[in-house]
Amino acid sequence: MNSKINAKNSCPIARSLDFLGDAWSILILRDAHTGLTRFEQFRKNLSIAPTILTKRLATLTEEGILEKRVYSEHPPRDEYVLTAAGRDFLPVLFMIGDWGRKYRGDGKLVRFLDAETGTEIKPVVLDEVTGAKIGTRPIQIIEPGDE
């Protein structure tokens, strides 16, 4: 799929898909959120071919979701850390995970707990303005230009 198409689309979902429309990228982001930063960590944990990993890390870096950082001069070693944009992707990951737990959740799954209370996290998407859960109220879509 041509990424240039989405970047100019007026739909914010399409805009996100330049990097998101790829399973490896999402898994790399997931791992980055658990604290992984290095090439070999991602490669081993994901069992991904190094050619693919190189390409994905380059794209995520270009897109401003990861940042390359030198962590050793001698020997020269780089690592990849989340930017603010990358960190803000966490809610998306949680919702993807929540959907998977609900509809692909047969068998044992990883669980996410609130570290303070020790309770399992139950993510919900609310509209901050009305307080209503997304999906419970009708939505109106406004194209740019149609005011």
Tell which positions 117-146 bind a copy of itself, by CB under 8 A. Answer: 117-130, 132, 134-135, 137-145
68 lies in the binding site for a copy of itself (CB under 8 A): no
* Residue 101 burial (CB count, 10 A): 15
Q: Which two tokens stand for residue 70?
A: 């030198």
What's the min distance (Å) between Cβ of 19 and DNA? 11
Residues 120, 48: Cα–Cα separation, whole Å: 30
Per-position x/- string for 32-71, each x denoting binding to DNA as judged by CB under 7 A, each - no binding:
------xxxx-----xxxxxx-xx-x-------------x
What's the min distance (Å) between Cβ of 66 and DNA? 10
**Which one, 49 or 125, has the nearer CB to DNA?**
49
Q: Which of 61, 39, 58 is closest to 49 using CA atoms?
A: 39
Strands 66-72 and 77-82, how do they pair? Answer: antiparallel
Three-state SS at 66: strand
**Which one, 74 or 111, has the nearer CB to a copy of itself?**
111
DSSP string of 74-107, one letter each residue: TTTEEEEEE-HHHHTTHHHHHHHHHHHHHHS--S
Q: Which two tokens stand for residue 76?
A: 């020269």
81 lies in the binding site for a copy of itself (CB under 8 A): no
**Which one, 78 or 109, has the nearer CB to a copy of itself?**
109
Binding site for DNA (CB under 7 A): 1-2, 22, 24, 38-41, 47-52, 54-55, 57, 71, 74-79
